[in-house]
Structure 1
Amino acid sequence: MRTAVSGAVAAEWTKFWSVRATWWCLAAGTALMLGYSTLSGMAQRYGSEPEAANTIALGGGFYLAQFAVIALATLFVTSEYAGGGIRSTLLWTPVRPRVVLAKAAVVLPVLFVSGVVLCGAAMGLASVVKDGHGLPTSVAAGFTTATGMGGYFALVGLLCTGIGWALRSAAGTLVTVIVLLVPLPLIVASLGLPELVPYFPGIAGVNAMVEEGHPNPITMSPAPYAPWVGLAICAAWAVAALVVGTAVLRRRDA
């Protein structure tokens, strides 16, 4: 069993790094993150609302870089259906839940490390560019934002793979995930249910990047829970998506 799982993970790891989409998505996420941090850092010199470097990095991650993450994780699953490679994958690994587990085992560490590294680079770049303007960033705040972003990117990646297994469509998965992360919480808030907003994965992920008691820069209100709870909420969404995706994969033909 352990050998079979490790073999499946090794196969998925090789496939992940052998396609151009992986490199393009990682490059796009890096460019978007660093570009946002540079422009926001420059704006601090010219009377923009004062921000700390970690808040700038958070904005770059939520407003821009996360969409490269979503595309990367989505294509990791749906491209196999588009190209017919899923048939070969299921021949090599006939136990279907093992395929879901193997892809998740690849996405999780890659996106976590990517989130932490990108956030650290963005904070460093923003600090240099704003040159003492804006607000300072404490070590604790920087650590919370970096680890929170890594965890959020990893869990959003798992959410995308789960929905990808269920829908088998890149377009459908992208639309579903983006609506769930951004417009849907706004719609719920406008319907008079703002207390539900912190429990959507996108807002919970941002809450995980902010020190406890500090306002969420997206909703402008403090989270009703600690940062680790935000990641736990994201994890619950990801697990639910993977359970549904696995059930669909087991029942449908490739």
Structure 2
Amino acid sequence: MTVLHARAVASEWTKFWSVRATWWSLLTGAALILGYSALSGVAQRYDNDPQSASTIALGGGFYLAQFAVIALATSFVTSEYAGGGIRSTLLWTPVRARVALAKAAVLVPVLFLSGVVLSCAAMGLAEVLKDGHGLPTSFSAALTTSVGMGGYFALLGVLCTGIGWALRSAAGTLVSVIVLLVPLPLIVGSLGLAELVPYFPGMAGVNAMVESGQPNPVTQSVAPYAPWVGLLICAAWAAVALAVGTGVLRRRDA
């Protein structure tokens, strides 16, 4: 049975932080969600559609910041194929599954922490700029949004690495993930299968950031499950993607 190898994780951790793409992606994600929250917070003073700071932060994460997460996680895998570094990686860690798991192990804590910190910062900024307008944000709503966004970003990163291993193409991975997150659920819903929409990873991620019984601000419907179930659904998608990607890596790069 293959286990996670500390040396492989340490190697991937060093590679992750040694390239400028990592820093640019994290900074871009921060700029996007904070910019969205700032504009939305100010707009609450004049808008007839009142929102809470947690809803504003959720919107910034789903509509903008998650694409920086997708770019970061995708490049973490596909850049090795583009630059030829995958040869050295597989020579250093010949057990293919360890390579895939090591990259996922690096992304999960970084993206979870990023999601929590950015959501809290976005909520705080929106609350200040709303200046008492819009809807109030309860502690429980803020906690659900911050933990949900952290969990969603972490699992989204794993999903991207799995698809990246399978396709080995940055463009192919980006298109596949984005279609899976946004257009595909909308298409399925328009075909009369609206009950399936909450079980796609993007919609499940949004539901994980919303308190039980409250409407999802993207679909305007109440999730048929609790927020933690949304994270389990995202985890299932991520696990399947990683398993498929690892299987392809074993067969193709044996």
Give the TM-score range, shorter chain: over 0.9
Aligned residue number for residue 192 of structure 1: 192
SS in 2 for 1:45: coil
Aligned residue number for residue 143 of structure 1: 143
Name the CA distance, whole Å, in 1 between partners of 2:2 and 2:210.
38
Name the CA distance, whole Å, in 2 between partners of 1:95 and 1:32.
38
5 Å-filtered alignment, 1:1-254, equals: 5-253=5-253
SS in 2 for 1:192: coil
Q: Tell me how far 1:253 sits from its aligned partner.
A: 2.7
SS in 2 for 1:176: helix
Name the CA distance, whole Å, in 2 between partners of 1:175 and 1:4.
29
Instruction: Quote the sequence identity (%).
Output: 80
SS in 1 for 2:198: helix
Change (3 A) 1:141 1:4: closer
Q: Tell me how far 1:180 sits from its aligned partner.
A: 0.1
**What are the superposed Cα offsets for residues 34-67 of structure 1, whole Å, 9 maximum, x if unpaired?**
0000000010011241000000000000000000
SS in 1 for 2:211: coil
Name the CA distance, whole Å, in 1 between partners of 2:164 and 2:2.
26
Partner amino acid for 1:243?
A
The worse-fitting range, judged by mean Cα deviation, of 181-190 and 4-13 is: 4-13
- Is contact 2:4–2:102 with CA below 8 Å preserved after alignment? no
Name the CA distance, whole Å, in 2 between partners of 1:211 and 1:189.
23
Name the CA distance, whole Å, in 1 between partners of 2:232 and 2:95.
28
Change (3 A) 1:11 1:3: farther
Query: Normalising by structure 1, what TM-score?
Result: 0.98
- Is contact 2:33–2:57 with CA below 8 Å preserved after alignment? yes
SS in 1 for 2:161: helix
Partner amino acid for 1:219?
T
Q: What CA RMSD, in Å, does the superposition of the two structures yield over aligned residues?
A: 1.3
Name the CA distance, whole Å, in 1 between partners of 2:99 and 2:174.
21
Partner amino acid for 1:193?
L
Partner amino acid for 2:185?
P
Partner amino acid for 1:64?
L
Name the CA distance, whole Å, in 2 between partners of 1:48 and 1:181.
29
Name the CA distance, whole Å, in 2 between partners of 1:176 and 1:31.
25
- Is contact 2:212–2:226 with CA below 8 Å preserved after alignment? yes
- Is contact 2:152–2:234 with CA below 8 Å preserved after alignment? yes
- Is contact 2:162–2:245 with CA below 8 Å preserved after alignment? yes
SS in 2 for 1:218: coil
SS in 2 for 1:46: coil
Q: Tell me how far 1:4 sits from its aligned partner.
A: 7.6
Name the CA distance, whole Å, in 1 between partners of 2:56 and 2:138.
14
List alignment gaps of at least 5 residues for structure 2.
none
